[in-house]
Amino acid sequence: MFTLPSMWNLIISTVMFSIAAWYFHRILDDQGIPKGMTRGILVFTLASLVSWGVGDTVNWVHEKIEGPQPVVHASSNMSQLLKTIVQTQK
């Protein structure tokens, strides 16, 4: 289940990836660099870095506003779930 901060992170990162990819394509077009696989990988890598940075910034801002989130121990939840399953099968 997604929490509200991770949804904002996903939405904003996706939008910023699209904007950054368009911007980098435009810059490379203006410089006359021919289209190809290397250019596509460069645009993808740069747009991914921008998207990751923006997503990390969203998480940082949310943590500054709301405070640190409690750590969830999934292993204890999994062991409890397995115990419940074994008990219901008996």
Q: Give domain status of residue 48, yes or no.
A: yes
Residue 89: inside a domain = no
Above 70 in pLDDT, residue 66? yes
Residue 42 lies in a domain: yes
Q: Could you tell me the residue range of the domain that residue 32 belongs to?
A: 4-70
Using a pLDDT cut of 90, give the percent of the chain over it.
Answer: 52
- For residue 61, the model assigns a pLDDT of 87
Number of domains in the chain: 1
Please name the amino acid found at residue 54. V
Percent of the chain scoring above 70 in pLDDT: 81
Side chain identity at 1, as an amino acid letter?
M
* Residue 75 falls inside a structural domain: no
Q: Tens digits of per-residue pLDDT, 17-30?
A: 999 999 999 999 99
What is the value of pTM for the model shown? 0.68
Q: Give domain status of residue 76, yes or no.
A: no
In a domain, 38, yes or no: yes
- 77 in any annotated domain: no
The reply to whether 51 falls in a domain is: yes
Cβ contacts of residue 20 below 8 Å, gap of 6+?
46, 47, 50, 51
